[in-house]
Amino acid sequence: MSVRTATAAAAAAALFGSGALLLPADRPEATGQLSAHRADPVVVAHRGASGHAPENTLAAVDAAEALGVDWVENDVQRTRDGVLVVLHDTDLKRTTDVEQVFPDRAPWAVKDFTAAELAKLDAGSWFGAQFAGTRIPTLTQFLHRLERNRQKLLLEIKSPATYPGIERDIIRTLGRTGWLDRSHVRNRLVVQSFGADSVKRIHSLRPDVTTGFLGTPAVADLPSYAAFTDQINPSYATIDADYVAAVQRLKGVHGKRLRVNTWTVNKAADAVRARDLGVDGIITNFPDVVRDATS
């Protein structure tokens, strides 16, 4: 076990108690590029290690790091005053105390609040009392934490039609925080969305950035997606081995084999099946469970 893995195992035990699983020895594929080919699929912590900490928070990033997981997925939206924040739902009700703090602001849409207002919300108590006071991070804060932890990012542009121009804002923030240098672009960053036009805009703004389309396009339509993306990232419930193979037979926009990263797989048996379908990556709330099942 390497020094980093031993440290991560100790941190995981501290976070999750003495019952935490010990991490396996480091394998070369554990630190590779998300789009690289390997026997074992890359494990991606969905909204951070969101089975262990409140989703899309710095606590979830740190939980993934404590488990030795390199890749973190998040969701990015924009506040009323133009600040990029990390949050999944387009309203604030499920994962914050917004109804108590701002009772007269229904329907509590993210786009209707300023960054300063969001900073007042508790985004952790819903998950567990130990996370009381956890805040919604800005994208800049999130990127800094990933950098500190030496982690990598699968960034989802959430509901892009709600936020016209958000792609340019994201590229600007990535550039300002150092995430568009050669090392990050080649090894540590993928930008994805359910919106094909949004993925196209990212590719137009920064042709060097690896992109992913979220969804399961018909096999006949895959060549048109390969013209602007590097990955097809479908729901686990929508794929079989033939579909995965059909995607991987094509070359993406950067001339490399299209990759398949499937979501959201949380059970060991499903993780083994996803691996056996030939996927390149598995996005999960429980990266420890998936890693242990597939390695």
For the annotated catalytic residues, the residue numbers are: 46, 88
Torsion angle (degrees, nearest 10) of CA 140, 146, 150, 154: -100
Residue 11 burial (10 A CB sphere; 0-12, 13-18, 19+): middle
Q: Cis peptide before 107, with omega less than 30 degrees from 0? A: yes
Token duo for residue 271 = 């993780």
Give phi and psi for 261, each to the nearest 5.
-120, 115
Contact 73, 44 (CB under 8 A): yes
- Which one, of 243, 270, 261, 234, lies nearest residue 45 by Cα? 261
Amino acid type, 256: K
Taking CB atoms within 8 Å and a gap of at least 24, the contacts of 24-30 are 24/291, 24/292, 24/295, 25/1, 26/1, 26/2, 27/295, 30/68, 30/70
Query: 131: which residues sit within 8 A by CB, 6+ positions away?
Result: 53, 54, 57, 59, 124, 125
CA-derived radius of gyration, the chain: 18
